[in-house]
Structure formats: C-alpha cells, structure tokens
Amino acid sequence: MAMFAMIAGGTYLGSGFFTPLYHIAAFIIGPETMMKSMESGTFFFSFGPAVLGMMIHLMTALAWGIVFAVVVSRLGARGGALVVIGAVYGLIVMALMSFIALPLIGQGEMPKMVGWPTFSLEHALYGATLGVWLALSRVPSEGFQLSRSTEGVPGT
C-alpha cells in the first residue's frame, strides 16, 4: 500500500515520492515538510519526517491487520476468499479512517489530495495483501495457539 502511494505520488500525482510519508507525519510535525516535498516535484527527502511517517503508517497498518486476523480466524475463512475479504476490509478501513480518524487529527483532506480512486486502490491493495499473507501462512484456522513442549527438558 505504502509503496503504491509513494509511486503514485512520484509519478502521475506529481506530488513527490516521499510526500505520502510526510503527509502522515504532518499531524505531529506540521505541514512544512509535506509542502516542501510537493513544491520540489518528484524527489525531496527528509529523514526524520519520512521515518516518523513510516512508523505511524506501519503501526496503524499493524493494528488494523491484527483486527483483520482476529475477525477472519473467527469466521473460518480460507484460501482465495481471504484475498477478497481482505480487499473489502481494506475499503472498510479506508472509510473509517477517511470519515472518522483523519478528520479527528486534522488530516481530513488526505483522501481528496490523493484522489479517491488512488486512495481506494491503496486500501484495497492493503487488505488484499493481508488476505494473501493469511492464506499463505501456516496459522491454523482455529486461531493463534501457544503450546508448551517439555521435550528435551531434564526431569520430564
């Protein structure tokens, strides 16, 4: 998702390759780096804001990914169905973020700046990737379980 957003920003959107990361970080550090990136064209790099934006994005994606894994493990979904369910889930996440979370942190304009088609595709890709990952993982459909092995432990 993030790579698609960055490629879109650096190519057909013309806002800059790293601008999506700066936009994510802007609610904490302000919009200056994002604006400088957008004005500079396709390539402007500032390490701190890029890392901050990436960290925020990855932590948010991780939280939504955990919710997805829990929900689909309870549903018992498997295989290719996970990819389709994941893509729909990504669009649901987009709606929740776009209409609730982003406006609350002052970033409500993000979907409009990116464009709804691109923003939708980014989130559908995110969800589909979650579905592929779970479909290919070796996690049992019953959910995550921990086991304790005593094999090789003295006195057992």
pTM for the structure as a whole: 0.80
pLDDT at 151: 61
CA 127 to chain centre: 8
Lowest-pLDDT range, 17-21, 82-86, 120-124? 17-21
Phi, psi of 146 (to 5 degrees): -105, 140
Report the pLDDT value the prediction gives residue 99, as an integer from 0 to 100.
96
pLDDT tens by residue, 33-81: 888 888 887 788 999 999 999 999 999 999 999 999 999 988 888 888 9
Looking at mean pLDDT, say which of 13-22, 96-105, 108-117 comes out highest: 96-105
Residues 92, 19: Cα–Cα separation, whole Å: 24
Extents of the domains making up the chain? 1-44, 58-141
Q: How far apart are CA 95 and CA 99, in angstroms?
A: 6
Let me know if 53 is exposed, middle or buried by CB neighbors in 10 A (0-12, 13-18, 19+): buried
Total Cβ atoms within 10 A of residue 63 = 11
